[in-house]
Structure 1
Amino acid sequence: MMKHTKNSGGAKLPPIVEKHYEFCAWLIEKVGKFPKDQRFLLGDRIERHALDILEMLIEASLTSSRDGKAEILRGANVRLEHLRYMMRLAKDGKFININSFHFACERMEEIGRMIGGWIKSRQVYEKSGIKD
C-alpha cells in the first residue's frame, strides 16, 4: 500500500502527487524563460501536459473504482511519455540548458517509476482480493 500525505484540504494523497507538484512548479518557472514565440507554443503544451498529469494523479488517488483508477494511471503514464518528448524538443531547440534537461529527465523517470509501481500494486491487490 502507498504511503499518503495530507494536502492543504486534508485529503490523504500519495507522495507522487507532491513530487509531481514540485516538478510542475519547477517546470512552470523554466517555461517562463522560453523565447516568447515558443512560450506560447511548446511551453504552453509542456505546462498543460504537466498539469494534466498532476490532475490525473490527484483524481486517481481520490477514485475508489479499481478500473477507473487503473485507467487514469495509464492515461497519466501516456501523458508523461508525451511530456518527455516535448522536453526533448525544448532541449534540442535550446530553450532549456542541458542541466535542466537532465534534471527534468530524472524527475520524469522517478515519477514514471512511481506511476508504474502504483499500477502494479493495483494489480497485486486485485489478484489477492485486498481492498485499499
Structure 2
Amino acid sequence: MQHLVAVYKLWFELKQHLRKSAKYTLGEKIDNLFIETLELIFRAQYAPQERTLPILEEANTKFDLLKFFLMTLWETKGIETKHYVLLSEKLETIGKMLGGWLRRFTAAAPPNTKK
C-alpha cells in the first residue's frame, strides 16, 4: 500500500504539469484509477479472507487499466519518456507484489470460488 501511495504522490506532482488536453482526459482517468486501486487494496487488507480474492481481482484489473492508460498518455506525447519510465518501473514492482498477493489468495481459495 505504501509503495502505491508513494507512486501516486509522484504521479500527482507530474499531473500538475500536463498540458490541459491531457490533464483533463487521460490525466483524470489515470488519477481515478490510482485512487480506485488504492481503495481496493485498502479494502482487501481489512476484508474477511473469503471476500479478499474478488477485491484483489478487481484491484488487479484497475491496476492493469492504470498502466494501459499511462502508456497511452506516453504514446500520445502527454508525458515525457523519463517520467513514464520512472512511473512504469515503480508500477512494475507494485504489480509483482499485487500478483503475488493475488496468487496466494487464489491458491488458498476453495475450489468452487476459483475462476
User: Does TM-score exceed 0.5, indicating one fold?
Assistant: yes
Cα distance in structure 1, aligned partners of 2:109 and 2:53 = 11
Aligned partner of 2:83 in structure 1 is 100
More helix by share: 2
Counterpart of 2:59, as a letter, is A
Aligned partner of 1:110 in structure 2 is 93
Q: Say which SS state the counterpart of residue 96 (structure 1) adopts.
A: coil
The equivalent position to 2:34 in structure 1, one of 50, 73, 77, is 50
TM-score (norm 2): 0.87
Q: Runs of 4+ in structure 1 displaced over 6 angstroms?
A: none
Same amino acid, percent of matched pairs: 21
Counterpart of 2:56, as a letter, is L
Q: How does 1:80-99 map to 2 (within 5 A)?
A: 80-99=63-82
Counterpart of 2:66, as a letter, is L
Q: Say which SS state the counterpart of residue 69 (structure 2) adopts.
A: helix
Q: Which runs of 5+ in 1 are unaligned?
A: 1-16, 128-132
The equivalent position to 1:123 in structure 2, one of 106, 109, 115, is 106
Cα distance in structure 2, aligned partners of 1:19 and 1:99 = 19
Cα distance in structure 1, aligned partners of 2:83 and 2:64 = 18
Higher relative contact order (CA 8 A, sep 6+): 2
CA RMSD after TM alignment: 1.4
TM-score (norm 1): 0.77
Counterpart of 1:82, as a letter, is L
Count of residue correspondences: 110
Aligned partner of 2:113 in structure 1 is none
C-alpha deviation, 1:65, in angstroms = 3.6
Q: Which runs of 5+ in 2 are unaligned?
A: 111-115
Cα distance in structure 2, aligned partners of 1:33 and 1:73 = 32
